[in-house]
């Protein structure tokens, strides 16, 4: 089979690889669509340390079951499926509590980080265990299904933030996760959702999705605008979808006393924290990691039109063009949000 392999940092090649064989509890998926995640781009250049070459990346995927292992009971060849990016054990304390994203033995499809190596879906075929697989509804296209992992991440972050008593929210960062998080916040009942970014084209996209309160600001100017919009009080909830010190600080400064800051982005591994502001204003800081079972909800919200993913898909391209698209995403080419790669573009768009 052909696979797009990271052979060295910043070097991707389409190579011939042996088609994997599913173990007894696994499915062999014929990949129809796989999205390039921001974490893949950071792995591509080596900055994250979680895509150690050689590795086939890709964890946002959908396709058709090609074969099943002997103990698989819920799926059969021909089924249209997607899968959770997190491979969890199902038996540790965290899994038994439903916190599968915190599994003691957690692995991620398409990641090699020193502790483990698991091949991903930038290939014609990939194997995944049955317990992380979800059946796709008929009306959901493969490129849309490749967005489900990101939608689940956004939903998980908003659910963790306990939105029921939030009237105002500010999303910082209008990349793909930020745009999905803002839509999720609105879908889960927060009446007023603002979104901020330094890229005007991303805010244009936000407005096209119905997110009308956009702030083309950063730093102190962003904080001032958030305070002005809330009568000087600050927002109930800030969702930080960038992962840099300056945006985390802005999120903390933009919330009201007793407010919440949920951290989704994680570009910088270490930042300094304005501790006295957090303590004296009784701000709750919440980290959000991956997702924990939000896939069915993600499908329902997309089907209902409450979360839109089609406008975020910038291109559906052949797997053979993957190196070029990675380079363009790494260079932060204007207008690119989500690029979907496919071994068979005709099947992906059918």
The 10s digit of each residue's pLDDT in 160-212 is 999 999 999 999 999 999 999 999 999 999 999 999 999 999 999 999 999 99
Polymer length of the chain? 350
CATH superfamily assigned to domain 2-147+309-348: Medium-chain alcohol dehydrogenases, catalytic domain (3.90.180.10)
Considering the entire predicted model, what is its pTM?
0.95
Separation between Cα atoms, residue 284 and residue 280, nearest integer Å: 11
How far, in Å, are 207, 325, 335 from residue 201 at the CA level?
10, 19, 7
Fold of the domain spanning 154-287: Rossmann fold (3.40.50)
| Start-end of CATH 3.40.50.720 domains in the chain | 154-287
Contact 206, 274 (CB under 8 A): no
pLDDT tens-place string over residues 277-299: 999 999 999 999 999 999 999 99
| Start-end of CATH 3.90.180.10 domains in the chain | 2-147+309-348
Contact 197, 268 (CB under 8 A): no
| Helix/strand number for the chain, H first, E second | 12, 20
The predicted model gives 326-349 an average pLDDT of 90
Q: Report the Cα–Cα distance between both ends of the chain, in Å, rounded.
A: 22
């Amino acid at each position: 089979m052909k696979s797009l392999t990271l052979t060295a940092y910043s070097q991707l090649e389409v190579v011939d690889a042996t088609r994997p064989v599913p173990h007894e509890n696994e499915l062999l998926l014929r990949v129809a669509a796989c999205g390039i995640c921001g974490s893949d781009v950071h792995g591509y250049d080596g900055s994250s340390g979680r895509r150690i070459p050689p590795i086939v990346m890709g964890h946002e995927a959908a396709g058709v079951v090609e074969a099943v292992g002997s103990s698989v009971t819920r799926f059969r060849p021909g089924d249209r499926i997607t899968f959770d990016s997190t491979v969890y054990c199902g038996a540790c304390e965290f899994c038994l509590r439903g916190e599968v994203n915190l599994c003691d033995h957690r692995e991620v499809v398409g990641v090699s980080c020193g502790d483990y190596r698991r091949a991903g879906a930038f290939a014609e075929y990939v194997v995944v265990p049955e317990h992380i697989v979800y059946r796709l509804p008929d009306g959901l296209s493969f490129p849309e299904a490749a967005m489900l992992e990101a939608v689940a991440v956004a939903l998980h972050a908003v659910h963790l933030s306990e939105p029921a008593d939030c009237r105002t929210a500010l999303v910082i960062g209008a990349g793909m996760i930020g745009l999905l998080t803002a839509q999720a916040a609105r879908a889960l009942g927060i009446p007023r959702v603002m979104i901020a970014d330094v890229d005007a084209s991303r805010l244009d996209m936000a407005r096209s999705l119905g997110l009308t309160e956009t702030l083309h600001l950063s730093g102190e100017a962003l904080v001032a605008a958030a305070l002005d919009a809330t009568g000087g009080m600050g927002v109930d909830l800030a969702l930080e979808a960038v992962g840099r010190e300056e945006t985390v600080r802005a999120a903390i400064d933009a919330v009201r006393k007793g407010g919440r800051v949920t951290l989704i982005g994680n570009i910088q591994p270490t930042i300094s924290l304005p501790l006295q502001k957090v303590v004296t204003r009784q701000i709750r800081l919440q980290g959000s990691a991956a997702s924990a079972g939000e896939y069915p909800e993600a499908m329902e919200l997309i089907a209902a039109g409450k979360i839109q993913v089609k406008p975020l898909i910038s291109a559906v391209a052949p797997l053979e063009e993957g190196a070029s698209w990675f380079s363009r995403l790494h260079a932060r080419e204007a207008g690119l949000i989500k690029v979907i790669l496919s071994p068979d573009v005709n099947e992906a768009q059918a």
